[in-house]
């Protein structure tokens, strides 16, 4: 489908697209594929610090400054011939300002005690360069697959300085991550939402969406505007489910405490205790050793579980695809507080490839599991064990039909959402 409009170009922007792993880079490429068909041309703008060896790095333009260098460590700049990443600043004494915590303290203290917002000023200056370089005008549109505080708020500030006749249309997709990050003692999201209200009042063509129905409802109530539900695009083709007698339970995505990594041992223990006749295989992605929650003893215990495949914390896209294709059921015991409104790219990748899932209740995407009917919800570790065993007892044809119907409904939701976004951006 195409839309008649004078809007020529779409710029997809992500100021947090700086790491060679995670979903930011892949998301930009996927969103470009879905939205690009409605525009004459597209351009993905990622951070200049995104390393060359990042998969799909050649599909984006690395031009943006990185506002979150006090929150996230940048990736190593190069790789050795053996594939190990090497950061030159780690080979000698690291300069003081290369320390992430020092940068965070500097940015916060400058803002709170001196009234100088270093990061906003830098990001605003960067936006002005981007506008000049690409000659961005009213005929263009800017889309954020993952709305984040500094990139979005400073863009609105710049647009407020321009005549309405020169402002591109803008769309922010909220996912519950970057919009909460600011170097100050005050919360970021209320300031962000207030900037949206002011921009709407001053005539900026601005639209908003969220990746879960719960977040949509929250933003509608707070902003008193229409907010769209825009899911993560289909990331892969559906794959035949193995559904062997000894089924494989996978927990995809880099191990994190808020993704339930430290619940896995207990859940598997519940299965072993209450269902000794069940012999599951397990495929789990590990946690980074530099993660503040990392525990070597827990990792060792997890690795000793019978039939456990504990993968490295970072996987290539081919390896990630292999996890999905070789597995039967996905296990997502996410933290209900952290993910109260958030979605999960892992869940939507699971839905795309055609696998059933067991995940926590009261998550931002729990309603989607109910809507699409491709899994079960649980709360306690015992409930997770029960749900995994119950799901594994389903007939293969029943599972295949449930996953096929879920994907078909999801495809319709994706098509409807992106058509609406394109029409709004081009109005």
Annotate 165-183 with DSSP letters as a single string. GGPPEEEEEE-SSGGG--S
Q: What is the pTM of this model?
A: 0.91
Provide the 8-state DSSP code for 263.
Answer: G
Tens digit of pLDDT for each residue in 276-301?
Answer: 999 999 999 999 998 999 999 999 99
pLDDT score of 304: 97
Residues 6+ apart with CB under 8 A from 4: none
Residues 6+ apart with CB under 8 A from 13: 44, 45, 64, 142, 143, 144, 151
pLDDT score of 20: 86
Rounded Cα distance, 416 and 38, in Å: 13
SS3 assignment, position 402: helix
pLDDT score of 55: 84
Provide the token pair at 107: 């940015």
pLDDT score of 92: 36
pLDDT band at 221 (very low <50, low <70, confident <90, very high): very high
CA-CA distances (angstroms) from residue 199 to 65, 141, 144, 193, 195?
A: 23, 16, 16, 10, 6
> Could you tell me what percent of the chain has a pLDDT over 70?
94
């Amino acid at each position: 489908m195409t839309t008649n409009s004078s809007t020529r170009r779409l710029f997809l922007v992500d100021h947090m697209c700086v790491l060679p792993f995670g979903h930011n880079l892949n998301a930009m490429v996927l969103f470009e594929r879905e939205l690009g068909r409605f525009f004459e041309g597209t351009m993905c703008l990622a951070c200049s610090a995104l390393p060359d060896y990042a998969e799909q790095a050649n599909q984006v333009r690395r031009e943006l400054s990185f506002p979150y260098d006090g929150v996230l460590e940048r990736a190593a700049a190069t790789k050795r011939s053996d594939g190990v990443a090497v950061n030159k600043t780690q080979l000698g004494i690291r300069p003081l300002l290369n320390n992430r915590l020092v940068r965070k303290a500097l940015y916060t203290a400058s803002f709170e005690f001196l009234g100088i917002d270093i990061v906003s000023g830098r990001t605003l200056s960067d936006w002005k360069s981007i506008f000049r370089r690409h000659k961005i005008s009213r005929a263009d549109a800017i889309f954020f697959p993952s709305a984040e505080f500094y990139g979005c708020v400073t863009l609105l500030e710049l647009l407020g300085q321009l005549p309405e006749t020169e402002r591109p249309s803008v769309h922010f997709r909220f996912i519950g991550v970057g919009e909460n990050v600011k170097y100050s003692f005050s919360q970021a999201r209320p300031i962000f939402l207030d900037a949206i209200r002011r921009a709407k009042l001053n005539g900026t063509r601005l639209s908003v969406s969220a990746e879960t129905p719960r977040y949509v409802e929250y933003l509608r109530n707070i902003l008193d505007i229409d907010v769209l539900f825009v899911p993560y695009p289909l990331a892969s083709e559906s794959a035949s489910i193995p559904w062997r007698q000894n089924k494989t339970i996978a927990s995809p995505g880099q191990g994190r405490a808020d993704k339930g990594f430290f619940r896995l041992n207990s859940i598997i223990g519940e299965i072993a205790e209450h269902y000794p006749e069940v012999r599951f295989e397990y495929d789990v992605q590990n946690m980074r050793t530099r993660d503040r929650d990392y525990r070597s003893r827990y990792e060792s215990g997890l690795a000793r579980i019978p039939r456990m495949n504990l993968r490295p914390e970072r996987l290539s896209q081919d390896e990630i695809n292999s996890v999905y294709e070789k597995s039967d059921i996905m296990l997502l015991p996410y933290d209900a507080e952290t993910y109260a409104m958030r979605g999960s790219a892992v869940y939507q990748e699971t839905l795309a490839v055609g696998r059933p899932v067991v995940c926590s209740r009261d998550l931002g995407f729990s309603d989607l599991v109910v809507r699409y009917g491709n899994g079960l919800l649980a709360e306690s570790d015992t409930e997770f064990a029960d749900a995994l065993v119950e799901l594994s007892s389903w007939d293969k044809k029943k599972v295949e039909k449930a996953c096929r119907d879920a994907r078909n409904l999801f495809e319709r939701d994706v098509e409807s959402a992106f058509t609406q976004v394109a029409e709004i951006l081009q109005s």
